[in-house]
Amino acid sequence: MKILSAEQIKACDAFTIQNEPISSVELMERAAMTCIRHIVKNSSIDSEFVIFCGKGNNGGDGLAIARFLIKRNYSVKVFVINHSPNSSDDFNINLGRLKELKPETIFYVDKEEDLNQADVTSNTVFIDALFGTGLNKNLTGISSTVVNFINSFKVKVISIDIPSGLFADKTNGKDDVIVNSSVALSFQFPKLSFLMPQNGNYVPEFEVLDIGLDKTFIHNISTQHYYITKSDLQPLLKHRQKFSHKGVYGHALLVAGSYGKMGASVIAAKACLRSGAGLLTVQTPKKGIDILQSSIPEAMVSADANEEIISELPALDKITAVGIGPGIGTNKETEAVIKKLLNYTLPMVFDADALNILANNKTWLSFLQPNTILTPHVKEFDRLTQKHINDFERLDTARQFAVKHNCIIVLKGAYTQTITPDGNVFFNSTGNAGLAKGGSGDTLTGIILGLLARRYTPPQAALIGVYLHGSAADNCLKKTHIESLLATDVIEKLPKAFRDLYE
């Protein structure tokens, strides 16, 4: 699914209006009805709606929603905010329609005291229809007052298209006033700002609603931002053949573990084998042999000469793909292994301490093989590059880094970002906060390694791996609470995640 800028969305609206053809107010009706279906489905019959409307087209959406709710016999109050002497034509049309239907529901807000008529109760649901994606400056005056009023109550807040005050595709200032939505109902596309960690308080959840914008326009318009869903990945999937053997599905090498951190190698190895690799060899310190062979009988083990750390590589002539980093530490001997590995042209995924070693030896980055996958979390990425003021700046750096070093960055987070060497950014749609625990990164490394061994291209392995990782974690929550989720739980749900994706 494409993610478009505010200007591109505006152009898409205009193209749809001109070529469907449909009037702008009819398109507004369609968008409002799409919102109504979601709102009614997710609200109780005794919900009391308080709708805050600006005087532009986002406010027009709110007025149309109010009319549809009234016709369904819901309690509705509409507060029109007089933040400007001007109003859009479609806003005026919908205001007139609401006046004809039920004028007593409309209240005008010029000052803070006018909001006292809201009568907020435990059944109240706020609908934020103040400002849409066209906003390009911080809210002030009565607009700011209304947003602070909305944020002062602990009630459900539904933002129409985007939380008011939030910019669609650039960073806000730290003191900007923004609606803290419960859910944003986004028209046709996610907004780039929804996917940035810095905006988590404003958009904890969002739903993308198809309002019927022109499919040809959407197909033809270019973007570097995508939101990855199941349907995007299914055409990439490989199917196992009946007449095949383990050698067909690749031989993975996992370089992982050190004394006291053998759990990382066990987790990554199990995830790798659960992800389709035909064979797996784990390079491990000598003290880790018994742990691995008793925990993962399906894996082969290559014993390092060193008792406690990784100090050497096994022969790589029969290896299909390499994963390195979980639990290896940053000893000088292990650094030398990383340096040696950079001379090989195999598909590779670097994680954890392998990334920290690269961060301590930045000149080595120029020797990364094309399409090497790096899987940092935010702090690891900043160590590789620089400290960042905000998430938009970090994304720009990640894009430049991927292009410069011809590598793939998997920047882990709530909507993990996979950045490819062409500068495209793919945001993942699966996963939950239960993954914020030790071992989750090791699991992801193992999954990606298994897919690389299966001879998926590195971009495919990264995208599918991240999606499966999150999907397995989501499946866990059907029987496990988010607080109790473990990396080993996620591995156990990988078969279900694969089955869901293949179906």
Convert the pLDDT of each residue in 115-141 to its tens digit: 999 999 999 999 999 999 999 999 999
Question: If we measure between CA atoms, which residue out of 280, 220, 223, 224 comes closest to residue 256?
Answer: 280
CA 251 from chain centre, in angstroms, equals: 31
What are the backbone dihedrals phi and psi of residue 289, each rounded to the nearest 5 degrees, phi first?
Answer: -60, -50
- Band of the pLDDT at 385, cuts 50, 70, 90? very high
CATH architecture of 233-237+248-502: 3-Layer(aba) Sandwich (3.40)
Predicted confidence at residue 276, as pLDDT, reads 97
The predicted structure's pLDDT at residue 195 = 98
Given this model, what pLDDT does residue 315 score?
96
In this prediction, residue 489 carries a pLDDT of 98
Residue 210 CB coordination number (10 Å) = 10
Q: Do the Cβ atoms of 483 and 434 come closer than 8 Å?
A: yes
Mean pLDDT of 468-489: 97
Per-domain boundaries in the chain: 6-223, 233-237+248-502
Taking CA 420 as the corner, what is the angle to CA 416 and CA 425, rounded to the nearest 5 degrees?
A: 50
- CA 249 – CA 99 distance, rounded (Å): 67
Entry pTM:
0.97
Share of the chain above pLDDT 90, in %: 100
d(CA 238, CA 76): 52
Would you place residue 72 in the very low, low, confident or very high pLDDT band (cuts 50, 70, 90)? very high
pLDDT at 38: 98
User: Do the beta carbons of residue 409 and residue 402 sit within 8 Å?
Assistant: yes
Per-residue pLDDT tens for 217-251?
999 999 999 999 999 999 999 999 999 999 999 99
What is residue 323's predicted lDDT score, i.e. its pLDDT?
98
Short-list 370, 374, 373, 372, CA closest to 384:
374
For 91-110, what is the mean pLDDT? 98
Residue the block writes with tokens 């060193």: 306
Within a 13 Å sphere around the CA of 127, how many CA atoms are in the beta-carbon half? 34
State residue 52's pLDDT score.
Answer: 98
Contacts of 418 (CB under 8 A, 6+ apart): 228, 408, 409, 410, 411, 425, 426, 428, 459, 462, 463, 466
Q: What is the pLDDT of residue 209?
A: 98
Query: What's domain 6-223's architecture?
Result: 3-Layer(aba) Sandwich (3.40)
- Residue 480's pLDDT band, with cuts at 50, 70 and 90, is very high
The span from the CA of 182 to the CA of 158, in Å, is 6
Q: What is the C-alpha separation between 153 and 50, in angstroms, rounded?
A: 12
Q: How far is residue 234's CA from residue 256's CA, in Å, rounded to a whole number?
A: 31
Q: Angle at Cα 433 formed by Cα 432 and Cα 434, nearest 5°?
A: 90
Residues 107/114, Cβ–Cβ less than 8 Å: yes
